[in-house]
Structure 1
Amino acid sequence: MHGKRSRFLTIMLVLGMAFFYVPMVLLVVYSFNYSKIVPVWGGWSLRWYEVLFQSEEVWMAVSLSLKIAFVNATFATMLGTLAGLAMVRFGRFRGRTLFGGMLVAPLVMPEVITGLSLLVFFISMKQLVGWPEQRGFATITIAHITFSLAYVAVTIQARLTGMGEDLEEAAADLGAKPFKVLTAITIPRLTPALISGWLLAFTLSLDDLVIASFVTGPGANTLPILIFSRIRLGLRPDINALATIMILVIATCVAIAAILMFRQQRADLKDQQLAERGES
């Protein structure tokens, strides 16, 4: 009975992984297709990578998307970390329930509503104070930060709840100031969650199409907007080449993050073991 169950779970796991990764593998394979018609195989070729690297429009979109994603991830991580610390370490304070509700609201709010509300906000701001003069990098970045920080805050909250307050209390008992405890104990132990939150915010920004399409303006096309507009006119092989490069870059970043997180977790385990030996 146990053998049949293990075999069933293995088959389900293989099917699930195949369902997720086979389309990506096909996309990578067809990025080397010589034929201009995507479904027709015309032999192996780097033709569409050459076309891709010669496309100024594509690289302008890539550059804009990466800049937005980097700024968004950095600010969302800082603000989300502060929000997570407030929710977990500051105990109960006036307005905590309202603050928590507003914090998780972007997680359940439809993207169409978020994008439309931000568009109305930016139009109103322009009428009142003359900013922004035109929608583009700044407006997209602000829009992405508004929903990305919620994901970061949830990640930080989960990490803070799981790691407890023993080391922080011990440091405080030994005379460490609150800021010293935060920088020397709390933040280093939050490193895996900080990396995860930053990568999540970065990926969400690169992936966003709906909200960005509301708050962008002429000449400020992000990569998802450019890809979507091109697919509407017909699937082009150079898009497969671009997607392949993105998969390679993201896989490399995830691998590096996993290595850093593994090292940090191993260091935390050693610190915990040393602390237990000291107590005994």
Structure 2
Amino acid sequence: MGKNRAFDVTTLPGFTAIAILAFVLLYAPIVTLVVYSFNGGNSVNLWGGFSLKWYKIAWENEAVQGAAVRSLIIAVWASVIATSVATLAALGTTRRKRFRGQTFIYVMINQPLMVPEIVTAVALLIFFSSVKLATGYSGLGYLILAHSAFCVPFAYLPIRARLEGMDTSMEIAAADLYATPWQTFRHITLPLLMPGVLAGAMLAFVISLDDVIITEFVKSAGQDTLPTYMLGQLRRALTPEVNAISTALLVLTVLILTAFFIITKKRG
């Protein structure tokens, strides 16, 4: 008998056709969105000639400007807070021997990934409503904290994966040379962990920037983000301005991914 060859899914009949179909179904709507963002007409699905007027209208729209700035503020703060908490959680669950209840802690950290987002949104609404009544404060802090809580598991996964793949010999050597835990973390662990931290921060930023459900439940009046502003526009008169805003968000996401790839490649 000949040697058994390893199973290769690419050799299955129809694999190429199915792969091409999947890519078309995935990217054709995005390409259509980008193309129609340059539509000179007033319809989102009838071509009226090439024009940049909807980008100009979106750029000069004060509501869009406010929502964009608000989205960036929330996403930046949420990514910073979520990544910091996720880094501490990852260190606490990987840089020590297994302990009783460790699996339960994993489940609790990753709970927002397993529970429907609407459930998390309702829970945050109830909690923050009580806080609002008790304090009288109704600023952006609630949205930042809500996004941070939801983004922690997204930041935690790449950071934990990076820690589990890191060699601990340099950390052990630092301890043998009488380095304090803080010195070891600052000069050895953190630089080696930075690609995972950047990946977690990037993922948290994108998740926060894109979130609709939690924002809709937690936000107060006048606190629309770009996604919730666009959702509101879909309920009113729909114009190619929504396509222009969506394309701008897409470009921002691509730029973030490109920057992350360059940074991690250099560190690698």
Instruction: Report the TM-score, using the length of structure 1 for normalisation.
Output: 0.86
**Equivalent AA in structure 1 for residue 39 of structure 2:** N
Q: Deviations over 1:168-190 (max 9, x none)?
A: 22332333222121111111111
Aligned residue number for residue 193 of structure 1: 196
Query: Which is further off, 227-236 or 207-216?
Result: 227-236
Aligned residue number for residue 40 of structure 1: 46
Q: Deviations over 1:86-122 (max 9, x none)?
A: 0100334565444333211111121111111111112
8 A contact 1:30–1:240 mirrored in 2? yes
Deviation at 1:60, TM superposition (A): 0.6
1:131 pairs, out of 135, 143, 168, with 135
8 A contact 2:113–2:153 mirrored in 1? yes
Deviation at 1:243, TM superposition (A): 1.2
8 A contact 2:159–2:199 mirrored in 1? no
How far apart, in 2, do the equivalents of 1:227 and 1:212 lie? 13
SS of residue in 2 equivalent to 1:34 = coil
Give me the CA root mean square deviation: 2.2
Say whether residues 1:117 and 2:120 are aligned partners. no
8 A contact 1:195–1:257 mirrored in 2? yes
Aligned residue number for residue 5 of structure 1: 11
1:261 pairs, out of 258, 261, 264, with 264
Aligned residue number for residue 4 of structure 2: none
Q: Deviations over 1:152-173 (max 9, x none)?
A: 1122111111123222223323
1:51 pairs, out of 57, 68, 87, with 57
* Alpha-carbon spacing, 1:6–1:113, altered in 2? closer, same or farther (3 Å): closer
Say whether residues 1:26 and 2:29 are aligned partners. no
SS of residue in 2 equivalent to 1:263 = helix
1:173 pairs, out of 173, 176, 182, with 176
Aligned residue number for residue 91 of structure 1: 97
Aligned residue number for residue 276 of structure 1: none
Q: Deviations over 1:61-101 (max 9, x none)?
A: 11101100000001111111000110100334565444333
Aligned residue number for residue 143 of structure 1: 146
8 A contact 1:84–1:156 mirrored in 2? yes
Q: Deviations over 1:171-224 (max 9, x none)?
A: 323332221211111111111111111111001111111111111111111111
SS of residue in 1 equivalent to 2:215 = helix
Say whether residues 1:82 and 2:88 are aligned partners. yes
Say whether residues 1:155 and 2:158 are aligned partners. yes
Deviation at 1:131, TM superposition (A): 2.1
How far apart, in 2, do the equivalents of 1:52 and 1:126 lie? 33
2:228 pairs, out of 225, 230, 252, with 225
Instruction: Report the TM-score, using the length of structure 2 for normalisation.
Output: 0.90
How far apart, in 2, do the equivalents of 1:153 and 1:30 lie? 37
How far apart, in 1, do the equivalents of 2:132 and 2:162 lie? 40
Deviation at 1:225, TM superposition (A): 0.8
8 A contact 2:55–2:241 mirrored in 1? yes
8 A contact 1:88–1:160 mirrored in 2? yes
How far apart, in 1, do the equivalents of 2:22 and 2:115 lie? 29
How far apart, in 1, do the equivalents of 2:16 and 2:168 lie? 39
How far apart, in 1, do the equivalents of 2:24 and 2:185 lie? 43
Aligned residue number for residue 5 of structure 2: none
**Equivalent AA in structure 2 for residue 24 of structure 1:** I
Deviation at 1:16, TM superposition (A): 2.9
State, as a whole percentage, how many aligned pairs show the same letter.
Answer: 37
Q: Deviations over 1:213-257 (max 9, x none)?
A: 111111111111111111122431011111111111211111111
8 A contact 1:122–1:132 mirrored in 2? no
How far apart, in 2, do the equivalents of 1:88 and 1:195 lie? 18
**Equivalent AA in structure 2 for residue 131 of structure 1:** T
* Alpha-carbon spacing, 1:161–1:236, altered in 2? closer, same or farther (3 Å): same
